């Protein structure tokens, strides 16, 4: 009787141990399982800061004369901008850039005979940063009126920026994370499982492109400054454990 009891106990021990080992293996295998998903979020927004820049120059063989005329141009430009409602605090005038120019003379066989000094080119840039986007856009189109006053000024297309970009990025990141979790939940439910703890999270590239444009995304992230209306997007990769 004792032998039978001992045999039964041993058999039960083996069965229980086997079940424990099997369940332990299943648990470890289950714990190793996970779901990797990519969430995305995007939003359209309008720039709240505009930057316009122009450049003007003077040429002369006499350096002092060129500088004097350039200063007159600066005063005329400042007065013109004031007439357009642009405050002096919004205007940035760069330092004077001075370059010497030369005329190269060639011989009959194409060889350089001499480089003769032809004068100085003095230039400055004028830059405006403003939140009054419509006013500066209009100015960028009309500023060539200064050419009629004899000022050699070239106008660049405006650039557009958004001053609350950090807040926008954080909001998009939260939405992209929620999107990733929703995708992971959907996948888990499809295999009769539940999401466990978040294992890993990696933020993707932050992209800013022109709204309704065909710009291609850049591997390092793009930042469009040529369009007033833009689209921002971000992705995030998240890995969840399964219960």
As its CATH architecture, domain 34-46+164-242 has 2-Layer Sandwich (3.30)
Closest residue by Cα to residue 41 from 176, 171, 174: 176
pLDDT of 122: 96
d(CA 108, CA 168): 65
Low-confidence ranges of the chain (pLDDT < 50): 14, 17-31
Report the length, in residues, of the chain.
243
Identify the bridge partners of residue 200 per DSSP, sorted by sequence position.
239
117-163 residue pLDDT tens: 899 999 999 999 999 999 999 999 999 899 888 999 999 999 999 99
- What tokens appear for 104 in the block? 């190269």
Which of 123, 113, 120 has its CA nearest to residue 154?
A: 123
How far, in Å, are 39, 119, 225, 236, 243 from residue 36 at the CA level? 10, 67, 34, 11, 15
C-beta separation of 182 from 223 below 8 A? no
Q: What is the pLDDT of residue 29?
A: 39
Structure tokens at 100: 């010497």
pTM beyond 0.85: the answer is no
pLDDT digits (tens, 9 = 90+) for 164-180: 999 999 999 999 999 99
Supply the pLDDT for residue 20. 47
Residue ranges per domain, the chain?
Answer: 1-32, 34-46+164-242, 49-161
- What is the distance between the alpha carbons of residues 106 and 206, in angstroms, rounded to a whole number? 54
**Domain 49-161 top-level CATH class:** alpha beta
Residue 22 is predicted with a pLDDT of: 43
Quote the CA–CA distance of 75 and 87 in Å, as a whole number: 14
């Amino acid at each position: 009787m004792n032998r039978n009891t001992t045999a039964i106990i041993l058999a039960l021990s083996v069965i229980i141990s086997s079940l424990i080992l099997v369940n332990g293996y299943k648990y470890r295998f289950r714990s190793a399982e996970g779901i990797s998903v990519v969430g995305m979020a995007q939003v359209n927004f309008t720039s709240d800061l505009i930057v316009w820049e122009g450049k003007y120059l003077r040429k002369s063989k006499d350096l002092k004369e060129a500088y004097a005329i350039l200063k007159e141009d600066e005063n005329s430009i400042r007065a013109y901008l004031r007439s357009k409602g642009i405050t002096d605090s919004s205007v940035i005038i760069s330092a004077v850039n001075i370059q010497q120019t030369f005329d190269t003379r060639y011989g009959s066989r194409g060889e350089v005979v001499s480089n003769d000094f032809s004068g100085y080119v003095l230039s400055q840039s004028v830059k405006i940063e403003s939140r009054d986007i419509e006013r500066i856009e209009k100015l960028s189109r009309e500023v060539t009126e200064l050419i009629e006053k004899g000022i050699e000024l070239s106008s660049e297309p405006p650039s557009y920026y958004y001053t609350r970009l950090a807040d926008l990025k954080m909001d998009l990141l939260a939405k992209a994370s929620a999107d990733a979790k929703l995708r992971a939940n959907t996948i888990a439910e499809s295999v009769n499982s539940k999401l466990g703890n978040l294992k890993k999270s990696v933020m993707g590239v932050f992209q800013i492109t022109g709204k309704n444009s065909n710009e291609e995304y850049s591997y390092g992230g793009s930042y469009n400054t040529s369009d007033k209306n833009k689209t921002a997007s971000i992705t995030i990769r998240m890995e969840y454990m399964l219960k």
